[in-house]
Amino acid sequence: MDNCLMVDKLYKAYGSLTVLDNWNLTISKGQRLVFLGPSGSGKTTFLRIISRLEEPSSGVINSFDQKIGFVFQEPRLIPWRSVKDNLLFVNQHGDYQDILGRLRLTGFEDYLPSQLSGGMRQRVNLARALITRPDLLILDEAFSSLDLRVKASIMEDINQLWQENRFTIIAVTHDLKEALCLADRIIILSGRPSKIIKEIKVDLGRDRSFSSPDLLQLESELIDIMCSTQPEV
């Protein structure tokens, strides 16, 4: 399988504060990787580095040529543009009708963000990333503000789109159910300075409902692991 990303001895510090300490990681194309760790463990910093928004202090990151779609925690939509125009702003030739249909937003093309619910705005946020037809989709705690029902629905949408297109997903979250619904691999991080301390392979097939017995069993195991990690300092 071709690689999407290779990380070798990654180190990131802000002055005397070390955030990422000696990360080594390989992510293959089409994989779904989720990072779990305490607050302050550098999850978002890592996403910013692989998105080229920040530079590492040392180490090597080989991010192969690819289009990146980034879904932020807040929608960050242009408030005076309609749903359709928010999407066309990032890809003027994109098939906005198709992606809105897949995310169950047909009929809302001409609505402004202020006229939508929080869950619908986040669907538009996701649609804006997907209309670029990304090779790599980055999710930065993208659904933390949504209620469980809306979150489960969006997870279902993402998994369906992934089944069809097999883009790579790299996500960070504090939500264990969200991680298990999305991931093939879960990376557990220590507290700061952050190290990769454990990897868990997730083999739940296509049934990723929040209430499935296998998912709940894995969630229990993750809780034990997370509670035993080094706390933030």
**In this structure, are strands 68-71 and 3-14 parallel, antiparallel, or unpaired?**
unpaired
Q: Is the dihedral of CA 150, 152, 156, 161 positive or negative?
A: positive
User: Is residue 173 in a domain?
Assistant: no
Rounded CA separation 207/220 (Å): 18
pLDDT for residue 64: 65
pLDDT for residue 233: 46
Lowest mean pLDDT among 19-23, 96-100, 133-137, 189-193: 189-193
User: Is residue 160 in a domain?
Assistant: no
Q: Which domain holds residue 130?
A: 77-134
User: Is residue 105 in a domain?
Assistant: yes
Q: Which long-range contacts (CB under 8 A, 24 or more apart) does 214-219 make?
A: 215/177, 215/180, 215/181, 218/180, 219/176, 219/177, 219/180
Assess contact for 33 and 185: CB atoms under 8 A: yes
Q: Give per-residue pLDDT as tens, 150-206.
A: 788 888 888 888 888 889 999 998 888 888 888 889 999 888 888 888 888 888 776
User: Is residue 103 in a domain?
Assistant: yes
What is the number of structural domains in the chain?
Answer: 1
Rounded CA separation 76/80 (Å): 12
User: Is residue 120 in a domain?
Assistant: yes
Q: Which amino acid is at 145?
A: S
User: Is residue 113 in a domain?
Assistant: yes
Rounded CA separation 137/129 (Å): 7
Assess contact for 44 and 101: CB atoms under 8 A: no
Find the farthest-apart pair of alpha carbons in the chain and give their distance in angstroms, rounded: 52
User: Is residue 223 in a domain?
Assistant: no
User: Is residue 107 in a domain?
Assistant: yes
Q: Give per-residue pLDDT as tens, 70-113.
A: 888 888 899 999 999 999 999 888 888 988 988 888 999 999 99
- 3-class DSSP string for the chain: CCEEEEEEEEEEEECCEEEEEEEEEEEECCCEEEEECCCCCCHHHHHHHHCCCCCCCEEEEEECCCCEEEECCCCCCCCCCCHHHHHHHHCCCCCHHHHHHHCCCCCCCCCCHHHCCHHHHHHHHHHHHHCCCCCEEEEECCCCCCCHHHHHHHHHHHHHHHHHHCCEEEEECCCHHHHHHHCCEEEEECCCCECEEEEEECCCCCCCCCCCHHHHHHHHHHHHHHHCCCCCC
Q: Give per-residue pLDDT as tens, 24-74.
A: 888 888 899 999 888 878 888 898 888 888 888 898 888 765 788 888 888
Q: Which amino acid is at 36?
A: L
Q: In terms of Cα–Cα distance, which of 186, 191, 193 is closest to 229?
A: 191
Is 216's pLDDT higher than 90? no
